[in-house]
């Protein structure tokens, strides 16, 4: 309930305060009383409807209804953040003794630009799929695996594409064209419900690999972000998630491993359950996941949360490469060439791309889908193409 309280306060601040400023600055002494009444009716309607949507979101299972709720929230946010941008400039204009008119004009322009950014992020940015390519040198990599290609997909959150399934097809064409030896999915294929995977069967039928398709659970794959009516209902959802994941062609690694063999040489792909910082559960068990892999020198770990690498994996020096997701690169940021910046850096040490520490490497995917706001600006959705190389 504490989260809901904070959100309610945020809604009040974002809606009431800007509209209060507009009333005092532009309406109170300049317009008819009827205009003022309409202004406050609209403001209260937005505040109350946003509050109602917030409380209803915890009891909606339909991916379509959930998406409509999120789209409404984005619409309100785009309007009021644009207002806040303009009001910031206008306040500077108002308190400046010289009343520089250019400041007010800049406020109009910047507010309009902010609104356009929201439109782009929702209707175009989140569909601007790309690829990131990495080459990872591994000491002792078997000769037959030199050049082994892994495609990593992560954080699809398929429910967010429930109304735009066709726009996801080009992504799967891109993945198939990679001609990967192995495809790994590092968690959060959904946001809450197994039904989010409905209708995407033809998408996954497009992709084939030379070996297999492996997957792990992310924090959203357990259904922990929904208020279930009973433990039995939650378990039914979990059972369906597992069954549908397998029907899409994935082998689930839940604190377990998968051995890939080529002409007598082997590598181990190890997958752990999700591990999160308190109060979220820490279900990952590396020791259990590594059982049966002692004789395999090259070990690659699939772990959803990159913080797990910092807290646990660094103590397991026999794991040379870790593949993670989870961060989404905050779905917003700036990327120019090799320079990139995102709010995700404030939360995660490893948030997007390749990082090395001693003889270990972690690659973090920014993901393909969205959670929360169905939008991406600056941090375009992408999958990773990882080529293993024998260190010489």
The residue out of 102, 123, 144 marking a domain boundary is: 123
Instruction: Give the span between the Cα atoms of 21 and 90, in whole angstroms.
Output: 10
Examine the domain organization and report whether 182 and 211 are in the same domain: yes
Residue 375's CB is within 10 A of a number of other CB atoms, namely: 24
pLDDT at 1: 46
Examine the domain organization and report whether 110 and 138 are in the same domain: no
Instruction: Give the span between the Cα atoms of 373 and 248, in whole angstroms.
Output: 26
Examine the domain organization and report whether 115 and 162 are in the same domain: no
> The whole model's pTM is what?
0.86
Examine the domain organization and report whether 58 and 111 are in the same domain: yes
Q: What is the pLDDT along the chain (392 residues), one digit of tens a residue?
A: 455 566 667 767 777 888 888 888 888 888 888 898 998 898 888 888 877 776 666 666 677 777 777 778 778 888 888 888 888 888 887 777 555 677 778 878 888 888 899 889 999 999 999 999 999 999 999 999 999 999 999 999 999 999 999 999 999 999 999 999 999 999 999 999 999 999 999 999 999 898 899 999 999 999 998 889 899 999 999 999 999 999 999 999 999 999 999 999 999 999 999 998 877 789 999 999 999 999 999 999 999 999 999 999 989 999 999 999 999 999 999 999 889 999 999 999 999 999 999 889 999 999 999 998 889 999 999 999 999 999 88
The residue out of 123, 143, 166 marking a domain boundary is: 123
The residue out of 93, 123, 153 marking a domain boundary is: 123
Closest CA to 270 of 298, 250, 240: 298
Examine the domain organization and report whether 283 and 177 are in the same domain: yes
pLDDT at 4: 56
Instruction: Give the span between the Cα atoms of 256 and 311, in whole angstroms.
Output: 20
* Residue-number span of the structural domain to which 244 is assigned: 129-390
pLDDT at 8: 67
Examine the domain organization and report whether 149 and 261 are in the same domain: yes
Instruction: Give the span between the Cα atoms of 191 and 204, in whole angstroms.
Output: 18
Examine the domain organization and report whether 252 and 103 are in the same domain: no
As for how many domains the chain has, the answer is 2
What phi, psi does 50 have (nearest 5°)?
Answer: -65, -40
pLDDT at 84: 84
pLDDT at 100: 67
Q: Sign of the C-alpha dihedral, residues 55, 56, 60, 65?
A: negative
Closest CA to 248 of 197, 210, 290, 282: 197
Examine the domain organization and report whether 349 and 244 are in the same domain: yes
Cis preceding-peptide flag for 279 (omega within 30 of 0): yes
Closest CA to 87 of 30, 26, 21: 21
Helices within the chain (DSSP H only): 2-22, 33-56, 63-95, 101-123, 169-177, 201-205, 231-247, 286-289, 307-311
Examine the domain organization and report whether 323 and 384 are in the same domain: yes
Closest CA to 151 of 172, 128, 170, 125: 172
Examine the domain organization and report whether 233 and 318 are in the same domain: yes
195: domain CATH number is 3.60.21
Examine the domain organization and report whether 220 and 117 are in the same domain: no
Cβ proximity of 34 and 42 under 8 Å: no
Cβ proximity of 322 and 363 under 8 Å: yes
Examine the domain organization and report whether 102 and 169 are in the same domain: no
What phi, psi does 362 have (nearest 5°)?
Answer: -125, 135
For residue 382, give Cα distances in angstroms to 130, 157, 329, 359: 4, 13, 11, 26
């Amino acid at each position: 309930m504490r989260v809901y309280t904070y959100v309610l306060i945020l809604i009040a601040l974002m809606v009431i305060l800007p509209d209060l400023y507009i009333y005092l600055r532009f309406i109170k002494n300049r317009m008819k009383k009827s205009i003022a009444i309409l202004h406050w009716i609209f403001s209260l309607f937005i505040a109350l409807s946003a509050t109602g949507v917030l409380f209803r979101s915890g009891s909606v299972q339909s991916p379509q209804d959930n998406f409509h709720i999120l789209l409404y929230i984005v619409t309100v946010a785009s309007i009021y953040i644009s207002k806040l941008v303009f009001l910031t400039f206008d306040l500077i204009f108002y308190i400046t003794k010289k009343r520089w008119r250019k400041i007010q004009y800049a406020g109009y322009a910047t507010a309009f630009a902010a609104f356009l950014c929201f439109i782009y992020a929702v209707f175009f940015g989140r569909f601007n799929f790309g690829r990131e390519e990495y080459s990872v040198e591994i000491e002792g990599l078997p000769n037959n695996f030199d050049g082994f290609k892994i495609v990593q997909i992560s954080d699809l959150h398929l429910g967010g594409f429930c109304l735009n399934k066709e726009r996801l097809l080009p992504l799967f064409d891109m993945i198939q064209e990679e001609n990967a030896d192995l495809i790994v999915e590092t968690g959060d294929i959904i946001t809450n419900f197994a039904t989010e995977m409905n209708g995407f069967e033809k998408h996954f039928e497009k992709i084939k690999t030379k070996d297999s398709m492996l997957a792990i659970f992310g924090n959203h794959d357990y259904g922990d972000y929904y208020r279930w009516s009973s433990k039995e209902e939650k378990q039914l959802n979990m059972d369906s998630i597992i069954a549908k994941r397998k029907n899409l062609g994935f082998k689930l690694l839940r604190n377990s491993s998968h051995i890939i063999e080529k002409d007598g040489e082997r590598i181990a792909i190890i997958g752990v359950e999700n591990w999160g910082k308190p109060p979220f559960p820490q279900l990952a068990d590396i020791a259990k996941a590594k059982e049966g892999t002692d004789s395999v020198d090259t070990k690659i770990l699939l772990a959803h949360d990159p913080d797990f690498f910092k807290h646990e994996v660094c103590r397991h020096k026999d794991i040379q490469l870790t593949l993670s997701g989870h961060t989404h690169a905050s779905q917003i940021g700036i990327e120019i060439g090799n320079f990139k910046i995102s709010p995700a850096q404030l939360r995660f040490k490893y948030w997007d791309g390749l990082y090395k520490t001693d003889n270990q490497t972690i690659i973090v995917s920014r993901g393909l889908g969205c959670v929360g706001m169905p939008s991406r600006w600056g941090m375009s959705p992408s999958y990773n193409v990882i080529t293993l190389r024998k260190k010489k």
